[in-house]
Structure 1
């Protein structure tokens, strides 16, 4: 191989390597979700009006198990995971809480990861009941908030901001009982980046990996 051929070969290898890196970056990037049907949007896609990342979790204000007010400012600049439970639930919620406990333990020393468990029966789950539930489930992570408040506010936030019930999020009567097994991953700018079945161990493992990806992501 001549000198010029060798140089051309090096340039070709470099170009191919950069192309492969570009593909890897796109495949590793977590998508964004703007709509309740959870159509993924990647920033590396060709820009279009439909692909603007406009959706954010709306401002909120609820009370946690310690009687402290938690708002959108409590998660500002932080990653958070949201789910929806009720303390009297005897089948699904204990599984979800156990899985959230696993996430809590893995990020116990990380103040930039917050867990929000909203009660869907806030008329029952007042602060004292949430305190009992926290003790019962050994929830002592200061970054894990069990939240109560007005039913209408929680249901509206769940359906219209978190898309907790997917494509019915905008149309379902806000008074109808909210039931979802989803964990929703939200980034530091309150944008939805992932949805997971909170009853499945493999999906919780994926959630943990995606949290790590968000922590490494340049905003």
Structure 2
């Protein structure tokens, strides 16, 4: 074996060893900067955003803080007469929509479709459903109870609420980002949005699902599951030391 050949093999051996030693660290850096941040699907956050100029750390990297639109936390009265706080659990995912009992179009479709979705999540304590009437004068708890007599929301964490603690139209328009206004039409006294609104535990809007479009109810179910995974990841269960 020539001297040059031996030297060449020695260099190759050193390079191979260097690659073996450095590759795990290189991969860690790449995953830490890119892969971990994008290794799961996430839902968008809707509404106006504000960047205050402060930062926080995530996956070891400095990130700009962002203040997102939040749905106001107001109280209602449920169809059974019990007081209801819209966001009474800081780990809950909420699905909210508007309705009124005298409406035979959007309201009926929104409630009928949500009946199945709420049933699918009956055993998931993280998910709550709110059907919010805009007809707060006519839709008393007694009227709503009669209106939903063919639906059993018990055990589903599904609330049919009225008597809001603040203006319902302001809450709908500015909070839920949904259409809601009184109309001069006797047969249709209110105009309401035709969407379900998906809200995370921080009261941020994560999705709109318009029932006038095909497969939106199916997409709602899928994205509730996705948001459940996100909430569990961000709030892992605490293990008590005994």
Shorter-normalised TM range:
0.7 to 0.9
Residues 59 and 23 of structure 1, relative CA distance in 2, 3 Å threshold = closer
Which of 95, 102, 118 is the aligned partner of 2:109? Answer: 95
- Which blocks of at least 5 consecutive residues in structure 1 are unaligned? 37-42, 166-171
Q: CA-to-partner distance for each residue in 1:10-67, whole Å, 9 max, x for gaps?
A: 93994798377357437x111112339xxxxxx99x966xx72332111211111111
1:164 equivalenced with 2:178 (yes/no) = yes
Larger Rg: 2
* Structure (1/2) with the larger helix percentage: 1
Listed as ranges, the matches of 1:195-206 within 5 Å are 195-200=208-213, 202-206=215-219
Listed as ranges, the matches of 1:1-219 within 5 Å are 4-5=15-16, 8=19, 11=23, 14=27, 18=31, 21-22=35-36, 24-25=38-39, 28-35=41-48, 52-150=66-164, 153-165=167-179, 177-200=190-213, 202-217=215-230, 218-219=233-234
Task: Please give the alpha-carbon distance, in whole angstroms, between the structure 1 residues aligned to 2:213 and 2:85.
Answer: 29
TM-score after normalising by structure 2: 0.70
- Which blocks of at least 5 consecutive residues in structure 2 are unaligned? 1-11, 50-55, 184-189, 235-242
8 Å contact 1:121–1:151 — kept in the other structure?
Answer: no
8 Å contact 1:181–1:197 — kept in the other structure?
Answer: yes
Task: Please give the alpha-carbon distance, in whole angstroms, between the structure 1 residues aligned to 2:191 and 2:48.
Answer: 18
Q: How many residues align?
A: 202
8 Å contact 1:187–1:193 — kept in the other structure?
Answer: yes
* Structure (1/2) with the larger strand percentage: 2
**C-alpha root-mean-square deviation of aligned residues, in Å?**
3.3
TM-score after normalising by structure 1: 0.76
**Partner of residue 4, structure 2:** none
8 Å contact 1:75–1:114 — kept in the other structure?
Answer: no
Which stretch of structure 1 is more off in the superposition, 204-213 or 183-192?
204-213
